[in-house]
Structure 1
Amino acid sequence: MTAPRYRIELADLPGHRCRVTLTLPAPAAEQDFSLPVWIPGSYLVREFAKHLSGLTARQGSQALAVEQLDKASWRVRCSGRAALVLSYDVYAFDASVRTAWLDSERAFFNPSSLCLRAHGREAAPHRIELAGTPRGWRVATEMRAQGGGYEAADYDELLDHPFEIGPHWQGEFQAAGVPHRIVVAGAWPSFDGERLLADVQRICEAQIDFWGGAPFERYSFLLWAVDDGHGGLEHRASTALICARRELPTAAEGAAPSDNYTRLLGLFSHEYFHAWNVKRLRPSEFARFDYQCENYTELLWFFEGFTSYYDELMLCRAGLVDAGRYLKLLASSVNGVLASPGRRVQPLASASFEAWTKYYRPDENSPNTTSNYYAQGALVALCLDLSLRARKSSLDVLMAKLWKASAGGPVSEVDILVAVRALGGEEIGTQLHAWVHGTVELPLRELLGAAGIDWREEGRQTVAQRLGLRVRESALTGITVTHVLSGGAAQAGGLNARDEVIACNGWRLRRLDDVPALLAAGDTRLRLLVSRDQRLVELDVVLPAPRPASIALALTEGAHAARRRWLGN
Structure 2
Amino acid sequence: MSLAASTAAVHYRIDPTQTHAHLYRVTLTVAVPAAQQELSLPVWIPGSYLVREFSKNLQSLQAQQGGAPVPLQQLDKHRWRAQCTAGTPLVLSYEVAAYDTSVRTAWLDATRGFFNGTSLCLRVHGQEDAPHTLEVACPPALAGWSLATGLEPVAVAPSGFGLYRARNYDELVDCPVEMGPFWSAQFTACGVTHQLVVAGAAPSLDGERLLRDVQRICEEAIRFWHGAQQPPFTRYVFLLNVVHDGYGGLEHGNSTALICGRRDLPRVGDAATPEGYTTLLGLISHEYFHTWNVKRLRPAEFARYDYTRENYTELLWFFEGFTSYYDDLLLRRAGLVDHATYLRLLTKNINQMLQTPGRQVQSVAQASFDAWVKYYRQDENTPNSTVSYYTKGALVGLCLDLALRREGRTTLDDVMRALWQRTGGGPMAEADLLAVLQELSGRDWSGEIGQWAHGTAELPLAELLAAHGIRLQ
TM range (shorter): over 0.9
The answer to whether the 8 Å contact 1:97/1:232 transfers is yes
Which residues in structure 2 correspond to 1:170-189 (within 5 Å)? 170-189=184-203
1:139 aligns with 2:139: no
Query: Could you tell me the percent identity over the aligned residues?
Result: 58
Cross-structure match for 1:563:
none
- CA–CA distance in 2 between the matches of 1:425 and 1:366? 40
The answer to whether the 8 Å contact 2:8/2:132 transfers is no
User: After TM superposition, what 4+ stretches of structure 1 lie above 6 angstroms from structure 2?
Assistant: none
SS in 2 for 1:210: helix
**Of the candidates 203, 206, 231, which is equivalent to residue 214 of structure 1?**
231
How far has the Cα of 1:365 moved from its partner? 0.2
Which residues in structure 2 correspond to 1:28-427 (within 5 Å)? 28-79=34-85, 81-133=87-139, 134-147=142-155, 148-212=162-226, 213-255=230-272, 257-392=273-408, 393-426=410-443
1:442 aligns with 2:463: no
How far has the Cα of 1:223 moved from its partner? 0.2
Deviation track 1:373-407 (CA, whole Å, cap 9, x = no partner) reads 00100000000000000122110010011011111
Structure 2 alignment gaps of length 5 or more:
1-6, 156-161
Aligned residue pairs: how many?
A: 455
- CA–CA distance in 2 between the matches of 1:358 and 1:156? 26
Give the residue type in structure 1 aligned to 2:178: E
- CA–CA distance in 2 between the matches of 1:193 and 1:23? 41
* TM-score, normalisation: structure 1: 0.79
How far has the Cα of 1:455 moved from its partner? 1.7
How far has the Cα of 1:434 moved from its partner? 1.3
- CA–CA distance in 2 between the matches of 1:434 and 1:454? 23
Give the residue type in structure 1 aligned to 2:145: W
1:15 aligns with 2:21: yes
- CA–CA distance in 1 between the matches of 2:201 and 2:429? 41
- CA–CA distance in 2 between the matches of 1:2 and 1:238? 24
- CA–CA distance in 1 between the matches of 2:461 and 2:439? 23
How far has the Cα of 1:254 moved from its partner? 2.1
- CA–CA distance in 1 between the matches of 2:26 and 2:357? 47
SS in 1 for 2:374: coil
SS in 2 for 1:304: helix
How far has the Cα of 1:119 moved from its partner? 0.6
The answer to whether the 8 Å contact 1:387/1:428 transfers is no
Give the residue type in structure 2 aligned to 1:47: E
SS in 2 for 1:254: coil
SS in 1 for 2:388: coil
- CA–CA distance in 2 between the matches of 1:198 and 1:334? 30
- CA–CA distance in 1 between the matches of 2:397 and 2:165? 38
Structure 1 alignment gaps of length 5 or more:
457-569
- CA–CA distance in 2 between the matches of 1:355 and 1:80? 41
How far has the Cα of 1:425 moved from its partner? 4.5
How far has the Cα of 1:419 moved from its partner? 1.3
The answer to whether the 8 Å contact 2:437/2:444 transfers is no
How far has the Cα of 1:252 moved from its partner? 3.9
SS in 1 for 2:107: strand
Give the residue type in structure 1 aligned to 2:35: A
SS in 2 for 1:89: strand
Which residues in structure 2 correspond to 1:479-498 (within 5 Å)? none
- CA–CA distance in 1 between the matches of 2:115 and 2:433? 35
How far has the Cα of 1:2 moved from its partner? 5.7
- CA–CA distance in 2 between the matches of 1:36 and 1:30? 20
- CA–CA distance in 1 between the matches of 2:283 and 2:434? 28
Give the residue type in structure 1 aligned to 2:147: V
- CA–CA distance in 2 between the matches of 1:306 and 1:164? 29
Deviation track 1:444-484 (CA, whole Å, cap 9, x = no partner) reads 0011111111222xxxxxxxxxxxxxxxxxxxxxxxxxxxx
Cross-structure match for 1:25:
31
SS in 1 for 2:371: coil
- CA–CA distance in 2 between the matches of 1:155 and 1:11? 25
- CA–CA distance in 2 between the matches of 1:342 and 1:294? 23
